[in-house]
Amino acid sequence: MKIHQNISLTSFNTFGIDVSTIAFAEVSCFEHLTSVLRENKKQLLILGGGSNILFTQNFDGLVIKNNFKGISILDENDQDILIKVGAGEVWHDFVLFCIQHHYAGIENLSLIPGSVGACPIQNIGAYGVEVKDVITEVEVFDLQEHVTRTFSNSACEFDYRSSIFKTSEKGKYCITSVTFRLKKQATIHTAYGDIEQELERMKILSPSIQDVSRAVMNIRSRKLPDPKKIGNSGSFFKNPIISEEHKNKILLNHANIPHYAQPNGSYKLAAGWLIEQCGWKGKRFDHYGVHEHQSLVLVNHGGAHGRDIYNLSERIIESVYDTFEIKLEREVNIL
């Protein structure tokens, strides 16, 4: 198993930030992973699709690119199907596989960049659906003990854009596979966001999961930049959750603020709306800035440094706090 030295990571992060790592290896099986870890004494970073990371400096250690592949059916009946998927599979490719075979549950998560292995870490979500609702277990490789472990859904401690792999157990494991339970009879989710309007535009009255997926892809393609054309990591900030009292205080001066009631009585606000109200939408500074169509997305127009984009996010956080007394949290991992 070859470990490469002094490798550029520009093509391994969707921001397209020009940084390098001292050592780099790609692994596709437990034997490869064990071999690389046995040789390595450096700082370690497991990298999936590189779609949720901002490099602000060169990495002084070993980057392992997770290429565990494979899609296998574990069990099925008339209602459900249990599918085990390698962590290195491209997330959107897996979504398309499921749609092709009429397996329902993740069609609203179409066109989200990244790998399958990253989806439980972030508990990815979009248009009223979160991946935690279809994950049954996550298989990992312990980077210290060199043994495999399996986390049940509850053990993953899923939260909004978070999990145990992003909090107390961060950096301890390499996710090798994720098992999903999907439905053969779809429950269509169209109430969130612009899906219903898009389906109307498409002249579809009784949508299938294929229709929902196409609608989501149409919306995302219009609103979000393609990382292959403009460097970005998708949504840079989480949507904040605030108390009802705080929401009512904001409504006094901003009656049109989008707000969504949560089961516990709190309210989720649209971070993009908050950022736009502070005047950041479409702002450009040399080679970086805020996307012109979606304020949640910070972009590298070419040649930007990660530190520039990080500093921009700091200014946005400060601006939103000064205006709304809300401190935005970054969704993107900063290195």
Query: How many C-beta neighbours within 10 Å does residue 211 have?
Result: 20
- The pairing of strands 53-54 and 333-334 is parallel
Determine which one of 162, 233, 235, 313 is catalytic.
Answer: 235
235 is catalytic: yes
330 in helix, strand or coil?
A: strand
- Length of the chain equals 335
Looking at residue 268, the DSSP 8-state letter turns out to be: E
Say if CB 17 and CB 10 are below 8 A apart: yes
Beta bridge partners of 8: 20
Angle at 80 between CA 77 and CA 85, to 5 degrees: 110
Determine which one of 89, 130, 198, 331 is catalytic.
Answer: 331
Say if CB 67 and CB 137 are below 8 A apart: no
| Nearest-10 crossing angle of helices 209-223, 91-100 | 150
* Residues in CB range of 227: below 8 A, 6 or more apart: 14, 15, 16, 51, 113, 233
Cβ burial, residue 85 (10 Å; 0-12/13-18/19+): buried
Angstrom distance (rounded) from CA 191 to CA 197 = 10
Angstrom distance (rounded) from CA 178 to CA 19 = 30
Determine which one of 130, 137, 161, 214 is catalytic.
Answer: 161
Helices marked H in the chain — which ranges?
30-39, 91-100, 119-122, 195-201, 209-223, 244-251, 271-277, 306-324
Q: Taking Cα atoms as reference points, which of 63, 56, 113 lies closest to residue 304?
A: 56
Tokens representing residue 312 in the block: 């921009």
Residue type for position 90: V
* Catalytic residue annotation: 161, 235, 331
